[in-house]
Each structure stands twice: as structure tokens, then as C-alpha cells.
Structure 1
Amino acid sequence: MAFDAHVLEIMISTPGDTADEVATVKDALHGWNADRAPGAQTILLPRFWKTDSVPGLSPSGGQSVINSQLVDNADIVIALFDRRLGQETDTAVSGTAEEIARAADAGKPVHVYFSDEPIDRSKFDADEYARLEKFRAELQAKGLLGVYSSLTDLAYKVRSAVESDLGGLGLGAPSVVRKGEHALPRVRVEKEKEQYSDSKGRVKTRTKSFLVLENKSQSLTAEGLTMKLGDELRSTLIRDSDDPIDLPPFAELRWPLVLHMGMPDQVIVELKWTENGTAESLKQPVTL
């Protein structure tokens, strides 16, 4: 029988040595859906970069693509570590570390688990493990971390964590979901590094920021779309007009953004548009 439901995107964030853990978390979330979805009127949708991201290019690199496609759209983030921390990015000690920080800064529930299983010494990298332990100590100072002693233990703890999150998200009763596709306007801040020569001919690097507005829908235009930016962001955006616009599927608009010291780490952008004659709105947290 069909039922109305909230659909929550659960991002699995992890380095490349946790294939079994990723499969376990996905199975745990699907198991929760089978047991609880109709009664809770909620469906948990696992999202993992290897299976759910779309190939794309960004001047800021591949991690920026993952951030915009998965991290920024996630409702809950589950981060997993076994014996590796992962590859560094431009702004963090690893891609997973950057995803954790970005989600936490956006106010999303983030649950981080470290493996307590016996070490396979044939695959052990002492230097990489030292990096992981240093990151773990730094993260420990910011909150409560979890450990798992087996895949069964991990599955139980993930289900318990998500169950706990549902009460705090304040979902309420789901609205009736219209059949078919919806317009999906979203906002993000994108940063690009460029080199330049100063007055003495020395090569230096600076960061340019852009506010990006895109429609992730495959088929519906966001008609009469407006952005309410708030005082903190409005004065820093170089934009010719605030008039409503029609944003077609997969379309993207970019405006230069001048960020400065003293600005908040996060702002709320309110989007309003029309689709199929129905007024829609969204208040989206945006990390600067």
C-alpha cells in the first residue's frame, strides 16, 4: 500500500578501505525502512559517492563535486574509519574529514565511528594509521565519537543513531507528495584558487568566491525564482538585478562573492519559486 513519507538522505562518508562497512550501513538503513518506514512515515535513502555521485568537473577539484552533490543535500552523515584517514584535499587532512566538517558546520547530524576490530597486519600502514589517530584525537575534543567491534555492532549503532535523529529533526506529518519530478533549486558557495603576480613580480595565490544557484531537477523549471540572502550576504554579492528568474533543469548561475573577516560561517538563504502553478519555498543553510 502506498503511503506519504519524508525521504531523508543519509550520506555515508568514508575512505576507501571500508567496503564491508559501507555495505553493512546500507543494509541497516534498508532494514530500518522495511521495519519502520510505514509507521514512521519516513524513508532513509543511503547515499555514497561511489554509487550516487555524477561525474563532473570543478575548478576546486573532485571533492567540491562530492560536496555539492552529496554533502550539501544530506540530512544525516554517517562517517566511518577503519585503518586509513584518506587522501588530503586543499582544505582538510582528507576528503572524509572535509565532509565531516562541512556537514557539522551546516548544522547536520554527524555520527563518526572508528573500527575497534582486530588489525590485519598484512594491510597495516603505520604512517597512515598515525595520521588517523592524530585526526581522531583532534575530533575527540569536538564531540562524542563511536566505535564498532564488528559489522553487526556497527549496523545496530547506526540504526540507533538515526532513530535518535528523527525526533530531533522535527519532521512532523509529511505533506502529500505530488507524482513526478520537482524543481530543485539549490545554493552553494564555490571557491577557486588562482595565481597572480604582485607589484614586485612575485607569484602568489588568492581565493575567489562565487555564489552558485542551480536547479538539480531533471525536467522542471523553477519559475519566478527569487533569493532572499539576508544582510550579511546581500552586500557582498556582485549581482545586477534581484528580479525573479526562470531557472531551467540543470541550469546554473554564478555571481562573484566578496567574503571578508567577521562574516558568519553560515547564512540562511530563502528561495521562492513556482512549479506547475504551485508556490514553493525553501530555507537553505549555506556554508561560506
Structure 2
Amino acid sequence: MTEWNIENTRYRNIVFVPQLWEINSSPDSRGRAQGQINTRLLDPCDVLIALFWKKTGTPTKVAQSGTIEEMTRFREAGKRVCLYFCERPIEWGDKKTLIEAAKVLDLRQKMHTVDAGIIDYYTTPESLQVKLRRLLNDIAREYESLAPDVHS
């Protein structure tokens, strides 16, 4: 994303700013953790990129994981969710890994069942990087087509 911004922001007038709860949130005991993440970080965003490999994430009181809660919230708001599943082999070290991976497989199947749109897959960090660059270009073109023509 940083590389895309460096190469494109100046002439496209679009910048992508990642919002990661680990970086963009701060301690606060005034409400449910995922609820605060949703309100402070998620709601102002236009696009959600969700990556899954061998686990779906930490359960919340509302959903199987915070990421799944975020995806549901985005879809209900009519916002774009870009969903990627990693197809790299998983080392089955213990039963917990197997259980978590099964949840990812269940989610993947559910997303196909509910027709969650186009879902993509990757196997290596390099293939993900290529796919994300293509995605960012696609999103930028979409927003450019919505922007008023300032040269008229």
C-alpha cells in the first residue's frame, strides 16, 4: 500500500491509509473493544480488505471473530469488502490449529453460499502483493470515475 501511495497519490489525488487496530487504537474501558474499533476505525473507512489463512481471529460477543464482525458491518452499510483466502499449506501441529483452520474453511464455504461477491485467493506474499496492487488500482479507478471533473 505504501508503494502504491508513493507511485500514485500525487497524480491520482487518492491516498490509501491502512487502519489497523493494533496501531490506530488506544486503551479505553468505556465500551466493548470491537465496538470501539468499529466506531473509531471502521466506520469512517470506505473499503475493507480481509485476509484469512489458518484462523478467523478473536471471537467477539457479536460474531465468530472481530474481522467477521467488521465484514458484516461493512456489507450491511453497502461498503466494499475485499476478501482474500491464503491457500498456503498449513502445518498441523496441534488440534487447535486444525479447529481454527476448519473455521476458515467454513467461512470460505459460507461466503460462496451467501454469494459474497468475488473472492480471491493467494499462495505467497508476492502473489498477494500483486493482487493487492491490482485491487488498489481498481478502487482508485472507481473513485476517479465518481469524482467531479475539475478541469471543466
TM-score, normalised via structure 1 length: 0.47
SS of the equivalent of 2:49 reads: strand
Structure 1 gap ranges (5+): 1-28, 175-288
- Aligned-residue RMSD, C-alpha: 1.8
- 1:166 is the counterpart of 2:140: yes
Structure 1 residues 173 and 121, CA, compared in 2 at 3 Å: closer, same or farther?
farther
Read off the aligned partner of 2:7 and give its amino acid letter: D
Instruction: After TM superposition, list the pairs within 5 Å mapping 1:178-257 onto structure 2.
Output: none
11, 22, 25: which one pairs with 1:50? 22
57, 82, 88: which one pairs with 1:111? 82
Which residue does the alignment assign to 1:140? 112
Moved over 4 A (4+): none
1:41–1:173 CA contact under 8 A, matched in 2: no
Inter-partner Cα distance in structure 2 for 1:54 and 1:32: 27
Q: Choose 1 or 2 for highest CA Rg.
A: 1
Deviation at 1:173, TM superposition (A): 6.1
Q: Deviations over 1:3-33 (max 9, x none)?
A: xxxxxxxxxxxxxxxxxxxxxxxxxx10001
Inter-partner Cα distance in structure 1 for 2:125 and 2:149: 33
Read off the aligned partner of 1:162 and give its amino acid letter: L
- 1:40 is the counterpart of 2:12: yes
Inter-partner Cα distance in structure 1 for 2:139 and 2:67: 21
Which residue does the alignment assign to 2:129? 155
Structure 2 gap ranges (5+): none
How many residues of Structure 1 are paired with residues of Structure 2 in the alignment? 145
Deviation at 1:166, TM superposition (A): 2.1
TM-score, normalised via structure 2 length: 0.86
Using CA pairs below 8 Å that are at least 6 residues apart, which structure has the higher relative contact order? 2
Inter-partner Cα distance in structure 2 for 1:67 and 1:132: 22
Structure 1 residues 30 and 119, CA, compared in 2 at 3 Å: closer, same or farther?
same
Inter-partner Cα distance in structure 2 for 1:139 and 1:116: 16
Q: Deviations over 1:47-69 (max 9, x none)?
A: 1110111222344x110011011
More strand as a share of residues:
1
Deviation at 1:101, TM superposition (A): 0.9
SS of the equivalent of 1:122 reads: coil
Inter-partner Cα distance in structure 1 for 2:13 and 2:137: 13
Which residue does the alignment assign to 1:31? 3
64, 77, 91: which one pairs with 1:120? 91
Deviation at 1:85, TM superposition (A): 1.1
